[in-house]
Amino acid sequence: MVDGVTAKILNRLKTIRGHVQGIERMVENDDYCIDVVNQILAVERALKKVNGMVLDRHLRTCVTTAIRGDEPDERERVIREMMTVFNTTAKL
């Protein structure tokens, strides 16, 4: 069963897939490089938006459950996991 947030994420990913296929056609057609670059930048922005949606859902579900839970090891694991994501994002 797909919830509303998952459906939104999937729809955005399908849209992104279509844009990537369009970029592929642009490259095959030897379109103007800056036009291709602009389309790639648009896809990157769209992926960042999807990434934010997935992280938001993760924070509101998995992380919240772990932090409210009774298992300190699980809390620490989730905190380490999130710190890894944030540190990786900071390097981009």
Q: How confident is the model at residue 69 (pLDDT cuts 50, 70, 90)?
A: very high
- Check residue 30 and report its DSSP letter: T
Mean pLDDT of 36-47: 98
pLDDT at 2 over 90: no
How many CB atoms neighbour CB 87 within 10 A? 9
Domains of the chain in start order, with CATH, are 4-91 (1.20.58.1000)
Q: Which of 27, 23, 77, 79 is nearest to 47 (CA)?
A: 23
Please report the pLDDT score of residue 26 as a whole number: 98
Mean pLDDT of 53-64: 94
